[in-house]
Amino acid sequence: MSQSESFMATRPLENIRLQVKPSQGPPPHSSNIYGQNNLKNQGIRIVHAARPEGSGPTNQATGANFYLPYMTNSLAVKIKHTKTSRGLGVFTIQSFPAGHRIVGEGAIFSCVHPEQVEEMEWRRRVVHRWRSLAVLDQTWFKEHFPQIQYMPLGTLELTPHEANKFFCFVLEYAFSNIPRDRINIYPFASHINHACEKCANAQFWVQAEAPDRITVRLTRYVRKGQEIFINYNRPSGNTFGCAVCGARDGGASRLRQFWQGIRRRAHGVSSDPSELELGPISTQPQPVPVTGDIVDSATTEAPADAIHPATVAASRDGKTTRDVKAPTETVTPVGEANSTETHTSSQQRVSAWWASFRKSRR
């Protein structure tokens, strides 16, 4: 037996985890996570890279015969590090007016909605979905989302740790489609960070029908280099606050409101929502969330062909409640209730004392 044969005999191929070297840079037809596109300077925008003839489609959502939809927005926005705990974010490459459609793109990863199947079955399908991606797609996905850099390439089994991290990633980055049967991850939209309703400078819609394309529109004028924010609109709130004013879902103290005002002005945002320069989409029906961590901002009034907001987050047992109000920035000043109570009781004490004083004088 030759040396290589003995190696194969003792270590069957399926038990060997491939040692994948870091790539030497993005493939020439794609952009890296910073939105740099080699072809951009030549004025060429590659939307889809064709699959080799005869190979099956990668994208289950669209059934289209292409590898991942590559950067379609690299001339309008770029992904870069926010230099904060938020990690990456989406920034404009030039100034845009309110109402501008800043992102319009197809999903790069699509799988069954967690509400549709049992948890274990959902997990199984998500892993299967990853393993069935072409290696080129997996590589691109990993380069684009640093959170999944640890994922093995090809059809290798995931370790329980890798699988768990991947589930969390999918739930954190995916948007639900409107029938709530699929969730999708998008190249740019899934990198947009959260801000409260007042501070978000964009809104998002997911197309009503397959292929679940997402559209992000600006709700106000955005200067070159500013970060794009959408409101995740999760009824159960986020573990993080608004990226601009720091407001937590569900309210802020008066002091926090004061700082919110200052920070908003520093970001060029009017503190009075009525003064905001709103784009045409502000006339769309307001988002309606669902209970649990899963947010679907679809409204019953939306036209049949409307595209509208829908985000998926962590929980999988949320039920749809279409009349729940979106979390608003209702502010309960700290200590106000107590001070009112104190004020009332001291008034009562004074009048009681006055009554007894008058009685004693009689």
Site residues (vs ligand SAM, CB under 6 A): 85-89, 172-173, 190-191, 193-194, 240, 242-243
CB of 32 or CB of 190, closer to ligand SAM: 190
Nearest distance in Å: CB 190, ligand SAM: 5
- Beginning with the edge strand found earlier in the chain, give each strand of the sheet holding 202-206 in spatial order: 101-105, 214-218, 202-206
Task: Of 323, 300, 299, 301, give the one whose Cα is nearest residue 310.
Answer: 299
User: What one-character DSSP code corresponds to residue 146?
Assistant: G
**Among 189, 18, 17, 163, residue whose Cα is nearest residue 88:** 189
Nearer to ligand SAM, 51 or 245 (CB): 245
- Least separation in angstroms between residue 193's CB and ligand SAM is 4
DSSP-assigned letter for residue 121:
H
Q: Closest residue (Cβ) to ligand SAM?
A: 87
Closest distance to ligand SAM from the beta carbon of 235 (Å): 16
What SS3 state is found at 31? strand
The DSSP H or E segment spanning 92 is strand 88-92
Q: Which is nearer to ligand SAM, 46 or 242 (CB)?
A: 242
| Shortest Å, Cβ 35 to ligand SAM | 13
* Smallest separation (angstroms) from ligand SAM to the CB of 156: 24
DSSP β-bridge partners for residue 77:
92
Which residues lie below 8 Å from residue 20, measured CB to CB, with a gap of 6+?
152, 153
Q: How far is the CB of 86 from ligand SAM (least distance, A)?
A: 4
Sign, CA torsion 187/88/315/120 = positive
Q: Which is nearer to ligand SAM, 51 or 318 (CB)?
A: 318
Considering beta carbons, is residue 196 or 288 the nearer one to ligand SAM? Answer: 196
Q: Which C-beta is closer to ligand SAM: that of 172 or that of 181?
A: 172
Take residue 247 and report the two structure tokens written for it.
């407001």
